[in-house]
Structure 1
Amino acid sequence: MSVFTRSRTSTVLGGIALIGASALVLAGCSGGGTGGDEPTESAGPVDELSLKVGTALPQTGNLAFLGPPEEAGVAYAMSQINEATADTGLDLDVVFGDSGDTDNKAYETEIPRLLGEDVSAIIGAASSSTSLQFIDQVTGAGVIQFSPANTSDAFTTYDDNGLYFRTAPSDVLQGEVLGNLIAEDGHQTLGMIVLNDSYGTGLAKYVTEAFEAAGGEVVAAPTYNTGDTSFDAQISEVLAADPDAIALITFEEVKTILPSLFGQYPAENLYFVDGNLANFGDQFPAGSLTGAKGTFPGLSLDTITDFTDALQTFNTDEGNEPLTEFTYAAESYDATILLALAALAAGSTDGTAMAEKLIEVSGGSGDGEKCTTYAECAEIIVGGGTADYDGISGPITFDEVGDPTEASIGIYQFGDDNTYAAYEG
């Protein structure tokens, strides 16, 4: 395990890197909300609160593989919140929707539908570029937008009326970890294939900065656009540069890119990111990805097996297909818990009132009492205290712009079965 700060180059030694992130800049001032119950005069709990939350997570599009674990995380949290209704007076209803991507534009009909349901918050999207397509529409309506997976640094300075939050850290952090990992693996030159959107180009920028600061050189970084189906030109450009390593900063398009690399480039020199790190299994011949590495924000899945096992059981008991991925499930679960706690602390389901309490219940302000479950935190709030929720995905702790101030970046490596596990290097 290695500790990272953004003020120095650090060493990656184990399957997880812990990062402390300082606030970057102040966000816009908070705005007025319209949805939900009006705030009470005091910030304490009230007798009954009916909170309604929407989701705009990827049921379709180039991040559709992330939809099932994210939606399962939300549904699991909802079940625990509603189990405690008798003790807290708060019940939660979730309206599930599809974000799609910037190619199929499912959000164009889904966001108006969700807002028409009078939701207090919308959880999503997973893709940063997709979230940027509707953030003004959501926050302009006085509704919280809360992403479990947005990592673009664009959100840190976005004028969102104080209504945007995320449980995933900025790409500044993942880029530093990945760039240093590639350098510390002994590679001196790097090629990248990059999705041309706020996520892809932003992450590529920070990987480049870290890799070059460690003495490396990026020799090729061709881009492609959402919706593209052929990547021959990008693959040819990168291979022609003969890099020591290749980083694939893509979404699900990686499934089309990889077969063209097999046999031409050693798998152990390939690097994945959160947008494409998946358990590919028999989608590719056995051993195709042996030794390849990747990163994604969040605690190593090997350290939260109690949660993932319970989530799998809950999900299948609900009649759903077994989950094959758990990426951003914990962040989605935590987002839902935090929204409920914020409503409870505000004594209101008004979006702006809840936003004012989200920083507090995450431990970003006040002198709250640590707690790790919804029931435990809710009991503190109902008793008149201040809760500081530490979640499944980590401590969270929002700063004044809704970014987590510390984060864990998991480092993983593929085995012969084309699935990944925590990197033990």
Structure 2
Amino acid sequence: MGVFTTASSRRSRSLTSVLSGIAVLGASALVLSACAPTESAEPNGPAEDLTLKIGTILPQSGELAFLGPPEEAGVALAVQEINEADLGITVEAIYRDSGDTTTDTATVSVTDLLSQDVSAIVGAASSGVSLTVIDQIVAAGVVQFSPANTSPAFTTYDDDNLYWRTAPSDLLQGEVLGNLIAEDGAATLGLLVLNDAYGTGLAEAVSATFEAAGGEVVAEELFNEGDTSFDAQISALTAAAPDAIAVITFAQARVVVPSLVGAGYPGNQLYFVDGNLANYSEDFEPGLVEGAKGTLPGLDISTLGNFQDRLLEVDADLADFSYAAESYDAVILLALAALAAGSTEGADIAAQLQEVSGGSGDGEKATDFASAAAIILDGGVVDYDGPSGPITFDENGDPTEATIGIYQYLADNTYERIN
């Protein structure tokens, strides 16, 4: 396992120590704000019950729509469990679509949510989409908390302390993937890259790591969201004949991967990322990507006790669980921060998020909402660790601990964790 810790100001961050296999670093989070606090509210819990209204801008449409169901299920499960606990706070969630960067769906959704006086907005999943609405959310004094944004750009973004995330920066995923490709024996690498904050940031990290390991990047082809033809990029990549190709896309992988294999490139020499690591059993011919590998932040959900079963009780049709745990933890952390602040004002919640994640360094461990809330209501400080793993926010709103899993595709084009 590779472990990274972060110690930084809003303007800088340094990454230290890498071990092996899976990796650990800072990740993502998001934001809430709503009802005004009572005058008698105390720092260690509310004087009277709080009502926290949150909105979501998670992908119901667009190139990341496959992530919407598990993320919304994670939010819904957290809301359900917080409300069932009946420990001084009730959460109301309003679900809206983020779309992708080819539309203004996210802006419309944020405008609607802000008009309903939400305290926090969970989302977007896409870094590019979040960058289109972050200023609007911050200007309203509302917390933005993303379960899946990985662009390094957010670490130093001027966000008035209102942007948080539970997913790790792509500085980590890029390092894990670049090392994986080199360790698998590739000497040359090609990249097919979505031209946005997510794609180019991740590609830069992968390339730098691969080259530091002695490899050579022989081709890097960009495309824009909304493009429908990738013939030129595929021709350039196959002409370069790299030992491996990293496919840094969203759902465009459903088009480009069969095209790459159809052009003669071996499917088992492809590498996927969190934006496209998905179940392709209904999309690809059997064996198309058997042996291909990919990376995805987060723990193996099948090892998290009954968490997967609880998600399926919320949405029985879930076939993918990517970022469900990060979405769940985002809502739990928002509720705990509101309890600790005795307030549902966005700035008050944001001021407590680092502490309830364990970032203050002196909290009592808890792994579920009820026990965590009890610590706060008893006047203590909590250090919450949830199904997404240890979080421990730094002052930038990035987690200082996270896990990157390595996965491999099977003959039926589903994937399993191998490290």
| Deviations 1:129-158, CA, capped at 9 Å, x for gaps | 100000000011100000000000000000
| C-alpha RMSD over aligned residues | 1.7
Cα 1:145–1:192 change in 2 (3 A) is same
Matched-pair contact (CA < 8 Å) for 1:176–1:210: yes
TM-score scaled by length of structure 1: 0.92
Q: What SS does the corresponding residue of 1:358 show, helix, strand or coil?
A: helix
Q: What SS does the corresponding residue of 1:370 show, helix, strand or coil?
A: strand
Match of 2:211 in 1: 212
AA of the residue aligned to 2:387: I
* Cα distance in 2 between the residues matched to 1:344 and 1:136: 26
- Residue 342 of structure 1 deviates from its aligned partner by 0.5
Q: Map 1:287-302 to 2 at 5 A.
A: 287-302=287-302
Match of 2:114 in 1: 115
* Cα distance in 1 between the residues matched to 2:25 and 2:73: 28
- Residue 282 of structure 1 deviates from its aligned partner by 2.6
- Residue 105 of structure 1 deviates from its aligned partner by 2.0
Match of 2:11 in 1: none
Match of 1:326 in 2: 321
TM-score scaled by length of structure 2: 0.93
- Residue 259 of structure 1 deviates from its aligned partner by 1.4
Is 2:247 aligned against 1:252?
no
- Residue 10 of structure 1 deviates from its aligned partner by 4.7
Match of 1:73 in 2: 74
| Deviations 1:146-188, CA, capped at 9 Å, x for gaps | 0000000000000000000000010000000000000000000
Structure 1 gaps of 5+ residues are 23-32, 317-321
Match of 1:364 in 2: 359
* Cα distance in 2 between the residues matched to 1:285 and 1:358: 46
Match of 1:83 in 2: 84
Match of 2:233 in 1: 234
Matched-pair contact (CA < 8 Å) for 2:358–2:382: yes
* Cα distance in 1 between the residues matched to 2:143 and 2:213: 39
- Residue 11 of structure 1 deviates from its aligned partner by 3.8
Q: Map 1:139-150 to 2 at 5 A.
A: 139-150=138-149
Please point out which of 15, 24, 43 is paired with 1:19.
24
- Residue 4 of structure 1 deviates from its aligned partner by 3.8
AA of the residue aligned to 1:342: A
* Cα distance in 2 between the residues matched to 1:20 and 1:76: 26
- Residue 265 of structure 1 deviates from its aligned partner by 1.3
Q: Map 1:7-406 to 2 at 5 A.
A: 7=16, 10-12=19-21, 17-20=22-25, 35-38=34-37, 40=39, 42-46=42-46, 47-85=48-86, 88-263=87-262, 264-304=264-304, 306-316=306-316, 322-406=317-401
Match of 1:28 in 2: none
Structure 2 gaps of 5+ residues are 5-14
* Cα distance in 2 between the residues matched to 1:186 and 1:10: 19
Q: What SS does the corresponding residue of 2:94 show, helix, strand or coil?
A: strand
- Residue 301 of structure 1 deviates from its aligned partner by 2.9
- Residue 21 of structure 1 deviates from its aligned partner by 5.1
- Residue 285 of structure 1 deviates from its aligned partner by 0.9
- Residue 39 of structure 1 deviates from its aligned partner by 6.4
AA of the residue aligned to 1:301: I
* Cα distance in 1 between the residues matched to 2:330 and 2:26: 19
AA of the residue aligned to 1:290: E
329-338 vs 295-304, which moves further: 295-304
Matched-pair contact (CA < 8 Å) for 2:363–2:383: yes
306-315 vs 236-245, which moves further: 306-315
- Residue 34 of structure 1 deviates from its aligned partner by 7.5
Cα 1:271–1:370 change in 2 (3 A) is same
* Cα distance in 1 between the residues matched to 2:93 and 2:187: 49
- Residue 283 of structure 1 deviates from its aligned partner by 1.4
Cα 1:230–1:354 change in 2 (3 A) is same
Match of 2:12 in 1: none
- Residue 9 of structure 1 deviates from its aligned partner by 6.0
Cα 1:335–1:34 change in 2 (3 A) is closer
Matched-pair contact (CA < 8 Å) for 1:11–1:180: no
How many equivalent residue pairs? 403
AA of the residue aligned to 1:285: E
